[in-house]
Amino acid sequence: MLILLHEGLGSLDLWKDFPAQLSEACGKPVLAYSRQGYGRSSPVPLPRPLNYLSVAGPDELSQVLDCLSLRQVVLIGHSDGASVALAYAARQDPRVLGVVVLAPHVDVEPASVEGVRRTVKAYTHGGLRERLRAYHGDNLEGAFRGWSETWLNPAFAAWNLYSELPHIKVPLLAIQGHDDEFATPAQLQTINRKVGSPCQTVLLEHCQHFPQNQARDRVLALIGNFMMTLPR
């Protein structure tokens, strides 16, 4: 089973047709869900704790795996969801066979903060609010504020996954776009340097923050090849 973990403004529906194409490419079932506070899930209290990516998100994922009695999974996370996947893999749950991260964040870069600020402007003065309303409904304000206010909190600048990464012992594939608006290639370099397991990092040319959309064929091929290396 492949488990999809969405971005900081994402939801189940925002994956669109990617889960179906991923399932076909890998020959595996895919599970996607909206984390608490997103999409049609239950609301989440604000403000979010500053460790929501490394504690609350993984705790919620553990409950999903338990409730569905899943025994063998591969985690595939995008952006904030990638951080959740990495933090959960560091817990060394034997059900996790491998991890794929797309546009991962393992610390807070100036590029990340600037990207969030641009998004806040698009939400406040552009059409982003209404586009997101179709996916989050009553959770819209909570989802957006929970993400943006956390990332723009000066105290969040100290957040990172440095202590978690060495505890990851399963194979890892990390994919990032060369032109990612929210991070630099230093994210991949840190992952490659600190992770304590076989690790492949791929920097995709002509790609920004959504590799699964902007370089889909390449991403599907990379994930498919990665899956072939995992225990069956």
The per-residue pLDDT for 232 is 72
> Which of 189, 201, 196, 188 minimizes the C-alpha distance to 169?
196
Q: pLDDT tens per residue, the chain (232 residues)?
A: 999 999 999 999 999 999 999 999 999 999 999 999 999 999 999 999 999 999 999 999 999 999 999 999 999 999 999 999 999 999 999 999 999 999 999 999 999 999 999 999 999 998 999 999 999 999 999 999 999 999 999 999 999 999 999 999 999 999 999 999 999 999 999 999 999 899 999 999 999 999 999 999 999 999 999 999 998 7
3-state SS string for 29-69: CEEECCCCCCCCCCCCCCCCCCCHHHHHHHHHHHHHHHHCC
How confident is the model at residue 185, as a pLDDT? 97
Report how far residue 78's alpha carbon sits from residue 10's, in angstroms, rounded to the nearest whole number. Answer: 9
For 170-191, give one letter per residue: b (16+ CB within 10 A) or e.
bbbbbbbbeebebbeeebbebb
Tokens of 172: 């890892």
Domains parsed from the chain with CATH numbers: 2-228 (3.40.50.1820)
| Per-residue pLDDT, 231 | 81
- Which stretches of 126-179 are DSSP H helices? 128-136, 140-151
